């Protein structure tokens, strides 16, 4: 599942789960921005949880993965993610 149109060549993935209130806050913010973000539910797909754990050592959500094709940056904290998305 994705939301909105792509902003550029950077790929964004949001690691989340449905009952997380901080994730819900970020998901609502996604409705306000024109950025394509792939949604990766770590509770419904163990591969997503495993990918995040291997890359960051954490299973904390929400987590935004910012992949520019050569490097990936992982952003935690709902307010930081929301500010970042609104800046695009």
Topology annotation, domain 2-87? Glutaredoxin (3.40.30)
∠ Cα 4 86 51 (to 5°): 65
pLDDT in tens, 38-82: 999 999 999 999 999 999 999 999 999 999 988 999 999 999 999
∠ Cα 65 31 16 (to 5°): 40
Find, among 38, 69, 40, the residue nearest to 52 by Cα.
40
Looking at residue 23, what is its pLDDT?
A: 98
Q: Are 72 and 15 in contact (CB under 8 A)?
A: no
Looking at residue 27, what is its pLDDT?
A: 97
Looking at residue 8, what is its pLDDT?
A: 66
Q: What is the pTM of this model?
A: 0.87
Which token pair is 31? Answer: 């409705």
Averaged pLDDT for residues 18-46: 95
Q: Which residue has the higher pLDDT, 5 or 36?
A: 36
Which token pair is 52? Answer: 């995040």
């Amino acid at each position: 599942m994705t939301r909105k149109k792509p902003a550029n060549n950077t790929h964004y993935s949001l690691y989340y789960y449905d009952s997380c209130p901080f994730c819900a806050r970020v998901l609502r913010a996604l409705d306000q921005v024109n950025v394509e973000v792939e949604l990766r539910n770590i509770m419904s797909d163990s591969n997503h949880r495993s990918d995040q754990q291997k890359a960051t050592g954490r299973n904390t959500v929400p987590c935004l993965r910012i992949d520019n094709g050569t490097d990936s940056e992982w952003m935690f904290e709902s307010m930081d993610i929301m500010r970042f998305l609104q800046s695009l």
